[in-house]
Structure 1
Amino acid sequence: MTRTLYLNGAWLPESEAKVSVFDRGFLMADGIYEVTCVLDGKLVDYAGHAARLQRSAQELGMALPLTEAELLEVHREIVARNALDQGLIYLQLTRGVAERDFVYPPAGTPPTLVMFTQAKNVLENAAAEAGIRVALLPDLRWGRRDIKTVQLLYPCMAKMEAKARGADDAWLVEDGFVTEGSAATSHIVTAEGVLVTRDLSHALLPGITRASVLELAAAHGVRVEERAFTPDEARAAREAFITSATNFVVPVVAIDGATVGDGKPGALTRDLRRFYIETRRASAI
């Protein structure tokens, strides 16, 4: 089935959705994006994603062309038009079409807003059952990783290098500490059962799933520490896992070839995935 896309106020078949070659997202990576999970045809953690989109836009001086109510309505409409039961909505906002220049175009230049869906079985995830292996690589991204920009070339390179090393994904390291994964938040559980994840700063993206999982952990009596941790701490951890919008909670069972814990998905990781799915399925809109 051909998908229906949203592009600057119009609903179009994917074959007819076109963006100018002079769009700054194409020429300058001058754009931001969000990915919202869809489960049972409803939006998961939508408020967090909408708020982060607004923050990213403000940080870069971009204007959203839709009000909060209109943005929610478009999300719901694209789900309905594509009969999406499970999967994701990808949204991208760029500064729009202008002559190529390092200087931003004049205020009032219309932005480009595009949205499309991808079907994905988010509940049945083989990686969540078996766990993933990660390789540690240097974090060579730009300094404002708290803004969800379309500058994704280095994360792609890191993921490909990790696969070349026989791993499934990469965890990135800067100044001796893990920042985050190539496209997910990194977490460890210490031998004492403390959930440790990096504190928020310009060094990493404020993950929406991260926030929900930390809230759930605390609600179930798990001690949480938001601080940087080293690769050695990660290797010595009892459990490790990643969080992201469409993967939810996925165990990490090996780091640079060293087994994490007993090499199997840990009990707390499995519980947090279950808690997340149950609560977010119930609260999806």
Structure 2
Amino acid sequence: MSAPTQRMHYEEQMGRIVYVHGDFVPEEQARIGLFDRGFLFGDAVYEVTAVIEGRMVDNDLHLARLERSLKALGIPLPQSLAQIVEVQSQLIARNALHEGAVYLQVSRGEADRDFLYSENMTPKLIGFTQAKTMVGTKTQRDGISVDLAADPRWQRRDIKTTMLLGQVMAKQAARARGFDDVWLVEDGLVTEGASSTAYVVTADGRILTRAASQATLPGCTQRALARLCAMHDVRIEERAFTPQEAQGAAEAFQTSATSLVMPVVRIADRVIGDGKPGPITRRLQALYLEAAGVPA
């Protein structure tokens, strides 16, 4: 039995320990309040950090984005960043997590239901782990198919809120149509994946992805990959691209904390390249795993 499988078996047998408002408790005992604004309004933000070989990947970027999202909504940090890191580390240790992800969510707090909120609310922090195979999956080897769908989300996509119903519906529709995932389109341009950053590689080897704006979420894996590309003289051009450009690309891929660098081999009804992950995508996969400390 592989190490990730052993850890998942451990979680299933022993039950997870989760973090709720200052306490580590078995998941069966975890409770949030009926009047938590995250539950009632989606008035909350979240982050997901990959864990590989028992270590968090790009966590500094995730915590920086958590702080930025909270600031954009006027929610104070529930604890110092150092204390939040300790919560994450304790969750990983208490659940013996070798490979998977650690999830954090901060809501504005609890109060009787009202669209308006008081300025002195106490934010609530919860966290849990999820055991999952992150490296060497079939989809990372062979690539995935993505559908194209109109972007149904609100205008502040740069804030990582828990309001994910648009993404849920788009992913569910894509799955029903036989696709693995979905890229979203607005005003004739691809914005991003429903839970990922979208990239294409042109015939002359240029990597295209959208620049940061309120139209997309600034991806942490995206930022980490950009740093690696700069270090290895791989050029990424930040500009929007059309669905037609995407379908005519030499290669395509997407990035996220839980899928790392994921090849895309079909977009809607068009096969990309020869239907296999291309050499640039393969190089970026290798660079990212090397930076994450995964043995070759």
Q: TM-score range by the shorter chain?
A: over 0.9
**Structure 1 letter corresponding to 2:46:** Y
1:182 maps to 194
Matches within 5 A, 1:266-281: 266-281=278-293
Matches within 5 A, 1:106-121: 106-121=118-133
User: Normalising by the residue count of structure 1, what TM-score does the alignment of the two structures yield?
Assistant: 0.97
Equivalent residue for 1:192, pick from 204, 209, 217: 204
Equivalent residue for 2:153, pick from 127, 141, 163: 141
**Structure 1 letter corresponding to 2:260:** F
Equivalent residue for 2:94, pick from 72, 75, 81: 81
Give per-residue Cα distances to partners, 1:97-149, cap 9 Å, x unaligned: 11111102x22222111000000110121111111111110001000000000
SS of 2:74's equivalent in the other structure is coil
Q: Give distance in 2, aligned partners of 1:158 and 1:166.
A: 13
Q: Give distance in 2, aligned partners of 1:34 and 1:167.
A: 25
**Does residue 56 of structure 1 match 2:69?**
yes
1:207 maps to 219
Give the CA deviation at 1:38: 0.8
Q: Give distance in 2, aligned partners of 1:73 and 1:163.
A: 37
Which segments of 5 or more consecutive residues in structure 2 lack a partner in the other structure?
1-13
User: Normalising by the residue count of structure 2, what TM-score does the alignment of the two structures yield?
Assistant: 0.93
Which segments of 5 or more consecutive residues in structure 1 lack a partner in the other structure?
none
1:256 maps to 268
SS of 1:36's equivalent in the other structure is strand
Give per-residue Cα distances to partners, 1:245-276, cap 9 Å, x unaligned: 01100111011110111110111111111110
Give the CA deviation at 1:8: 1.0
2:3 maps to none
SS of 1:123's equivalent in the other structure is coil
SS of 1:281's equivalent in the other structure is coil
The alignment of Structure 1 onto Structure 2 pairs a total of residues equal to 281
Q: Which moved more, 1:44-53 or 1:124-133?
A: 124-133
**Does residue 160 of structure 1 match 2:198?**
no
Matches within 5 A, 1:226-237: 226-237=238-249
Q: Give distance in 1, aligned partners of 2:233 and 2:23.
A: 48
Q: Give distance in 1, aligned partners of 2:119 and 2:136.
A: 46
Say whether the 8 Å CA contact 1:36–1:43 is kept in structure 2: yes
Q: Which moved more, 1:195-204 or 1:222-231?
A: 222-231
Give the CA deviation at 1:71: 1.1
Q: Give distance in 2, aligned partners of 1:11 and 1:224.
A: 42
2:11 maps to none
2:16 maps to 3
Give the CA deviation at 1:50: 0.5
1:130 maps to 142
Say whether the 8 Å CA contact 1:34–1:92 is kept in structure 2: yes
Give the CA deviation at 1:222: 2.0
Give the CA deviation at 1:63: 1.0
1:240 maps to 252
- CA root-mean-square deviation: 1.0
**Structure 1 letter corresponding to 2:15:** T
Identity in percent: 51
Q: Give distance in 2, aligned partners of 1:18 and 1:186.
A: 36
SS of 2:128's equivalent in the other structure is strand
**Structure 2 letter corresponding to 1:189:** V
**Does residue 18 of structure 1 match 2:31?**
yes
1:220 maps to 232
Q: Give distance in 2, aligned partners of 1:64 and 1:2.
A: 29
SS of 1:178's equivalent in the other structure is strand
Q: Give distance in 1, aligned partners of 2:66 and 2:123.
A: 14
SS of 2:211's equivalent in the other structure is coil
User: 4+ residue runs of structure 1 moved beyond 6 angstroms?
Assistant: none
Say whether the 8 Å CA contact 2:78–2:106 is kept in structure 1: no
